[in-house]
Chains A and B, each alone.
Chain A
Amino acid sequence: EDQVTQSPEALRLQEGESSSLNCSYTVSGLRGLFWYRQDPGKGPEFLFTLYSAGEEKEKERLKATLTKKESFLHITAPKPEDSATYLCAVVLSGGYNKLIFGAGTRLAVHP
């Protein structure tokens, strides 16, 4: 069964304290891996797409990396406004853009 697992479930950081979120996946074939950010009461907002092992994408304080079995979202020197739930999702090869999501990591950054 295709599965996406995110860890930790929740993470509390002090402002400026760098850390990483993990997304591990077990799928029949990976076409792409997506990271989304979700704020309370809002829909997920697209951050990155990664397609092949070794690929990296960066945006401000965030950097996403991909291996054959997992992806990491690295947060460098986070600020309180980075507080949100970060969702990882995969799209399987041979199909359309149907996202299979993990449960997310709730990140809280305190000043």
Chain B
Amino acid sequence: GAGVSQTPSNKVTEKGKYVELRCDPISGHTALYWYRQSLGQGPEFLIYFQGTGAADDSGLPNDRFFAVRPEGSVSTLKIQRTERGDSAVYLCASSGQNSGANVLTFGAGSRLTVL
């Protein structure tokens, strides 16, 4: 597609539930990033994929968070046993050789609310 697509745009869940957030990057972009943005803050790095592998997952806050990118395109961020503190906007970005100076292009985000 023309841009980075994220679904769902909004997700409301109850504490303790499992959620999946999906990111469809720009076609041909090999690098994919997940960020988390809390209200009034800048985006905070979570994980970086180069192709199918997670090259840097140092930003994942704990083992309840996991992300996959099995075919090197679409990525899914998975959160187990959600907590109220997980409420935030989860942003996905991609970059590639055609993105100009390795610029990251962001999606609109998935807003997660944990009740």
- Residues of chain A touching chain B, judged by Cβ–Cβ distance below 8 Å, are 4, 6, 32, 34, 36, 41-46, 49, 87, 89, 96-104
Contact = CB atoms under 8 A, between A and B. Distances in A.
A101 B101 contact: no
25 contacts: A4-B42, A34-B103, A42-B109, A43-B106, A43-B108, A44-B91, A46-B104, A49-B101, A49-B103, A87-B42, A87-B43, A96-B48, A97-B31, A97-B95, A97-B102, A97-B104, A98-B33, A98-B48, A98-B56, A99-B33, A101-B42, A101-B44, A103-B40, A103-B42, A104-B42
B105 interface: yes
B104 A42 contact: no
Contacts of B44: 101
A97 B101 CA distance: 10
